[in-house]
Amino acid sequence: MMFENKIIDEKKQGSALLINKKSSKKDKKVYIESYGCQMNFSDSEIVASILQKIGYETTRDIKLANLILINTCSIREKAEQTVRKRLDFFRASKNKETTIGILGCMAERLKSKFLEEEKLVDLVVGPDAYRDLPNLLKEVNDGRKAINVLLSKEETYADLSPVRLDKNGITSFVSIMRGCDNMCSFCVVPFTRGRERSREPKTILNEIKDLESKGYKEVTLLGQNVDSYLWTGGGLKKDFQKLSNEAKKNSTNFAQLLDFVAKNTSMRIRFSTSHPKDMTDEVLHTMAKYKNICKYIHLPVQSGSSKILKLMNRGYDRDWYLNRIKSIKKIIPECGISMDIITGFCNENEQDHLDTLTLMKAVKYDFGYMFKYSERPNTLAERKYNDNVPDKIKSRRLREIIDLQQKHSLEQNKKFIGRTCEVLVEGFSKKSNDDFFGRTTQNTVAVFPKGKVKIGSTVNVLITSCTSATLLGKIIN
């Protein structure tokens, strides 16, 4: 879904965030490091906002911080190992005055066990309990360890103005819902993020308008399953069919939310993640209707084998998925499509693996995020099935999937050569200060000589060549 390159992300040292004002070490300064999905990065901005109200400034310099927070991810074992290693590093540098807190999904999964296992940690806070941070910090200041991992049926942090961290001033995230009710058998998220809740449309638009007034040009609406978004006045997700006629009329589904947001702002709009079982043609038609909704869908498939999809409890089979792809290609022919795939899930045999490869060939994704199955404690798969594909086979299958995807990405990118694409300029290219980079509506990165344009402008770029990851070209307006 919602990830930069996730494989790389886990190896990377997270990313650190900030606003720097001159001040001494005595001031309240918080250093926040975030791991995992965009939701977590977005949550860190909510945390910064809550802490700002009690006088904390964010800093990028860990040495200046008296509060260090790690917003953690539990999605795969490796993601948790990365955080443990990071704690080892902090162990070496912690002094008496520094408070170390664990936020996010590992906090929720491990609860008080975290305090037992990692003695240097003072504070453990789950994703729905961030409003309690001021109280919890008081407890820590009084010399006690503090923990709040209560999950909520209502919390959407709708009224808070996130402090934009890691900002380029051009693109930003806006959470539209929290939690997940799906119970995919491999997935830890329903346990760490709780039940699904949608956020009030008005507050979503207000946040987007605020970003727009500050010069931002693009927002990504975030949720674990945006197609399941349903505003009915607050609280847990309700069954639409069981609503009264009056309530049905007053509700807002995802297609309606997209419509509402697209017509009330000129910002570019993206969203993540779509779920194949819930993605409707109504959403596709709304995307087609508005120029400012980007033509890009991240539609995780996880496997091309109906047998495995059933074991994964994904709620669709291969044919259903391919039918959704057919709809996308019919209603939005120019749409970029990406995926997530898990290889080596319980009982996956060579035929199932081949089914995944043939599905990839049928879809021809623009790009994808591909993972080896990692068993997570307490999930349905951990309780019911055997993690019985040997690691060596998982690695080989993953290699084959990645190689095929790279071939497809190159083929898909080559199709743009000779065409002109509209690109929102996001910043300098990684390789050269003479070049800018930005994204096409399909979410493909384009790099081009910067000429006289400014970051934040939208330019027409003639694509002249490409790699499997990047389009290369020149500005023509």
Residues within the interface to ligand SAH (CB under 6 A): 1, 75-76, 186-187, 189, 224-225, 273, 275, 300, 302, 340, 342, 371, 373-374, 376
Whether 382 and 375 have beta carbons less than 8 Å apart is answered as yes
Looking at 39, 105, 189, 332, which residue binds ligand SF4 (CB under 6 A)?
189
In the complex, the residues that contact ligand F3S under the rule CB under 6 A are 36-37, 39-40, 73-75, 104-105, 188-189, 192-193
Kind and range of the H or E element at 93? helix 77-93
Q: How far is the CB of 330 from ligand SAH (least distance, A)?
A: 22
Q: How far is the CB of 82 from ligand F3S (least distance, A)?
A: 11
Q: With CB cut-offs between 5 and 8 Å by kind, which of ligand SF4, ligand F3S, ligand SAH, none does residue 104 bind?
A: ligand F3S
Q: Which of 371, 437 has the CB closer to ligand SAH?
A: 371
As given in the structure block, the two tokens for residue 301 are 């498939």
Q: How far is the CB of 77 from ligand F3S (least distance, A)?
A: 12
Q: Which of 275, 372 has the CB closer to ligand SF4?
A: 275
By CB under 6 A, is residue 309 in contact with ligand SF4? no
Rounded-to-integer distance, Cα 255 and Cα 331, Å = 14
As given in the structure block, the two tokens for residue 409 are 């990405």
By CB under 6 A, is residue 184 in contact with ligand SF4? yes
By CB under 6 A, is residue 187 in contact with ligand SF4? yes
- Listed residue (249, 272, 269, 248) closest to 260, CA to CA: 269
Cα Dmax for the chain: 65
Q: Which of 325, 342 has the CB closer to ligand SF4?
A: 342
Whether 69 and 101 have beta carbons less than 8 Å apart is answered as yes
Q: Which of 338, 444 has the CB closer to ligand SF4?
A: 338
Burial class (CB in 10 A: 0-12, 13-18, 19+), 180: buried
Q: How many residues bind ligand SF4 (CB under 6 A)?
A: 10
- Residue identified by tokens 């060596």 is 392
Q: Which of 73, 262 has the CB closer to ligand F3S?
A: 73
Nearest residue to ligand SAH by CB is: 340
Whether 74 and 35 have beta carbons less than 8 Å apart is answered as no
At residue 104's C-alpha, the angle toward residues 99 and 107, to 5°, is: 70
Whether 160 and 46 have beta carbons less than 8 Å apart is answered as yes
Binding mask 262-281 for ligand SF4 (x = CB under 6 A): -------------x------
At residue 104's C-alpha, the angle toward residues 100 and 105, to 5°, is: 125
Q: How far is the CB of 331 from ligand SF4 (least distance, A)?
A: 23
Q: With CB cut-offs between 5 and 8 Å by kind, which of ligand F3S, ligand SAH, ligand SF4, none does residue 294 bind?
A: none
Q: Which of 275, 318 has the CB closer to ligand SAH?
A: 275
Q: How far is the CB of 212 from ligand SAH (least distance, A)?
A: 27
Q: % helix / strand / coil in the chain, to the nearest 5?
A: 35, 20, 40
Please, which residues bridge with residue 174 across strands? 221
Q: How far is the CB of 182 from ligand SF4 (least distance, A)?
A: 4
Q: Which of 2, 50 has the CB closer to ligand F3S?
A: 2
As given in the structure block, the two tokens for residue 232 are 């009915």
Q: How far is the CB of 315 from ligand SF4 (least distance, A)?
A: 9
Whether 192 and 74 have beta carbons less than 8 Å apart is answered as yes
Q: With CB cut-offs between 5 and 8 Å by kind, which of ligand SAH, ligand F3S, ligand SF4, none does residue 73 bind?
A: ligand F3S
Instruction: Calculate the CA dihedral of residues 291, 294, 300, 301 and round it to 10 degrees.
Output: 40
Q: Which stretch binds ligand SF4 (CB under 6 A): 185-193, 257-265, 278-286, 425-433?
A: 185-193
Q: With CB cut-offs between 5 and 8 Å by kind, which of ligand F3S, ligand SF4, ligand SAH, none does residue 373 bind?
A: ligand SAH
b/e map 282-301, b = 16+ CB within 10 Å:
ebbebbeeeeebbbbbbbbb
Q: Which of 273, 286 has the CB closer to ligand SAH?
A: 273
By CB under 6 A, is residue 303 in contact with ligand SF4? no
Looking at 175, 224, 274, 442, which residue binds ligand SF4 (CB under 6 A)?
224
CA dist 366 → 47, 296, 391, 406, 410 (Å): 34, 10, 27, 9, 8
Burial class (CB in 10 A: 0-12, 13-18, 19+), 371: buried
Q: How far is the CB of 376 from ligand SAH (least distance, A)?
A: 5
Q: Which of 374, 468 has the CB closer to ligand F3S?
A: 374
| Contact footprint for ligand SF4 (CB under 6 A) | 180, 182-184, 187, 189-190, 224-225, 275
